[in-house]
Each structure stands twice: as C-alpha cells, then as structure tokens.
A and B are shown apart, each in its own frame.
Chain A
Amino acid sequence: MEITLNINHSMHHVLIRPDEFLLDTLRNMGIKSVKKGCDTSSCGICAVSVDNKLVRSCAYYSIRAEGKEILTVEGIREEASLIAEFLTGEGVEQCGYCSPGLVMAIYTMKHELDEPDIESIKHYLAGNLCRCSGYEGQHRAIMKYLEVK
C-alpha cells in the first residue's frame, strides 16, 4: 500500500506492507541513523520523534504516522551536532550505536521537561539502554546541555 509521510520536513510517498513498522520504513528509505537494537521494544535505541513525542519506531506502525511530523537525527542536524558536542565532551561516545536514539530522547526531553533536574532527566532516560557509558557521562552532558544548575 502507498502512504504519504512527513519525514524531516518533507513529504514522501512510500510503499509499505500494511503491518510495517516505522523503523523498517525509515531504514528502507535510506534514513540509516535509526538503528535496530532489540527489535522487541525493550532498548529504546530505535527512538524517533513523532509529533514531538518520543516513540520506539520498532513498535510504531508506519500507517499510524500518516499526517504526523516524523523527525530523526537527519532532520535536526544543527541541534543534533550541538547535543553530540556535549556528549563527546563527557566522553560518552563509545560504540555509538545508541547515540541516534539518545540524541532524539534528549531533543524531545528538552521540549517536554519544563524544569529539568537530575531526577527528571534520569527518569526520562530510563529504558534508553547504553551498554558502554554507564550513564553517568550522559547525565553530566545533558545537565550541561540543558544548563541545569
């Protein structure tokens, strides 16, 4: 079936299977920042923004995304580079596999948390798994990025 998706500020007509998930649709279109981790909605690595909400694209039906605004790292290049600077500044970039999902989580977090503090940041990030960093560096980087005192 053919659907029309608004991905990273432009409209795309895409052919999908009826039960296809957004993760596969995006990757088939060449949007390779979106990574497949567990593929069982457990790790958060595949997270993208749909209408400014963080969702696991491996469990989000592509047909549900019609009429919504989908953002991946490719669509927020400037902001993503800035976030990446903070992450590298704290030595958080290691294998890098979880980074796109983490960057999208930080991006939506910035828009969603009114008064971020360390507790709300940790709570927001819980379930976004990273097997290298041990999370402390991520928390420091995000605190600096969000200018949490």
Chain B
Amino acid sequence: MNFKKIVRPLSLDEAYHDVIGQEKGIVIGGGVFLRLQKRSADLGIDLSCIESLRMIQERENDFVIGSMVTLRELEKNIQLPRSVCQSVRQIGGVSLRNLVTIGGSIWGRYPFSDIITALLSLNSKLQFFNSEDMALSDFLAKDKLEKDILISITIPKAEYSAFRAYKLNYTDFSMVNLSVSSTDEIRIAVGARPGRALLLQDISNAHTAEELLADVEFGTDLRGSGIYRRKMAEVMLSDLLEEGLLWK
C-alpha cells in the first residue's frame, strides 16, 4: 500500500483524530501486511511513537498487552501464558517478528492466524479507543469493523495453556492450528481450518478429540484437504488434552 503522507502522532487522541479525519486515514501497526496490499491511501497513521501502546503490563489476574507490542517481544516474554509464546515462535522469522505487531495481527482477522487461535482459547478481551471493550470472539464474529484504534489486549492468567500448529515447513502458514487453555474454564480454539479461528462449543459432553471436533468444518485449499486437516487436528488435540491432564 502506498501512502501520500504518513503522520506519527504522539498520543492516542491525536491518532484517533487522524483516523476519523477528513483524509482517509489507515492505521499502521507493523505495516508488514499493509505493505502487501496493492492500493493507495492519502494518509497513514503510524502508531509507533505512542509509548503506551508498546507496554506489557502484568496485573494480579491478567496481562495487558499494548497493540504495538511485537511478536518477538511476546515470544521472549516467559511470564505470558505458554500458548501465546508458542503460537508466535514460527511466524516468518526473527526479522519479521521484530516488526509485526499483536494489534495488526488481531485487527486483520486473518483466517490463517496462529496468535488469534491462542488468544481465543485464553478468552482474551480487546480495548479500543472509541468502541466498548469486547471479547476477541465477538470481534471475530463482527460483519464489518468501524474505524477505531485497538489499544490493548487483556489476556487472563491461565492454569494451563498450550498451542500446536501443523506447518508444511517451519515458517509456513499453518495448515491447521489448535489451542487449549484453562482459565476460569477450559476453552479449545481451532484455526487455519482454513477459515477463521473458532471456539469449540459444548465441550463438557464430549470425551475424545474426534467427538470434540465432530461439528467443526474443515475446508480444502492448496495446503491440504479438509479430511487431512480434520485428521491432523484430531491428533494434535489428543496430544494437547493428554498434556493438559499431566499438568494437573
């Protein structure tokens, strides 16, 4: 994407003013995915000078992650739930993860996303400049996104959390990914199906991975067939559930 002008606001107020201003403003997180788009915009709003968006804050029951925190910073932070670090480890390479932000990764709602799957199973909440706080699951379900700035992501501390992805090579997009977390309850998320990540519903009556995944739709694309994805997901989920039991 080409920008005629890029502004670098120092505060969120200033940034939001640019977002809804007369020139059509596009928020720039890491800018890495925007860069691949073949279109132009009058104004890019670079959030990288807003210090508060770069913080990771630990509180009693959760972590608050600023939207401009990079995936590499998440990977190296050993305090965070394990699934968060695991989900970003194989994205692109160190030199990419030093640029890509958690905010851009969530706002993009990419169906192939690894980190969204991990955050969904952790029951993460999103904080915006203008809109009310929202659960990540609701954000993913929205038809259309209003102009806004994602400020931070709140991730509850987990008793247990783990992430698995099946990739054809180390840094490829996932063919399918899965995350299991135990916070206030156990949640299981499946992503790269290849559709957008979703949370498994009514899991208390299911006992095996096959039963748990029975209602999930898996599609076919150039990376693999729906049948193959389902089989891989079943194996990965059995592993994760076994690992979860051992943790207790």
Contacts and interface: CB of A to CB of B under 8 A. Distances in A.
Interface of A: 18-19, 21, 40-42, 44, 47, 53-56, 59-61, 63-64, 105, 108, 123-128
Contact of B32 (A19, A59, A63): A59
A127 B99 CA distance: 14
B48 interface: yes
Interface string B20-37: 000000001011100110
Interface SS of A by simple majority: mixed
Given A18-B4, A40-B36, A61-B46, A55 B95 contact: yes
B6 interface: yes
Given A19-B3, A60-B99, A126 B90 contact: yes
Contacts of B96: 41, 44, 56, 59, 127
Nearest to B40: A19
Contact of B171 (A19, A40, A56, A126): A126
Given A41-B99, A53-B98, A59-B30, 7 more contacts: A41-B32, A55-B95, A59-B31, A63-B8, A123-B89, A126-B90, A128-B95
Contacts, number: 71
Contacts of A53: 72, 98
Interface string B79-97: 0000000000110111110
B35 to A, nearest CB: 5
A53 to B, nearest CB: 5
A101 B229 CA distance: 35
Given A19-B3, A41-B32, A56 B95 contact: yes
B40 to A, nearest CB: 9
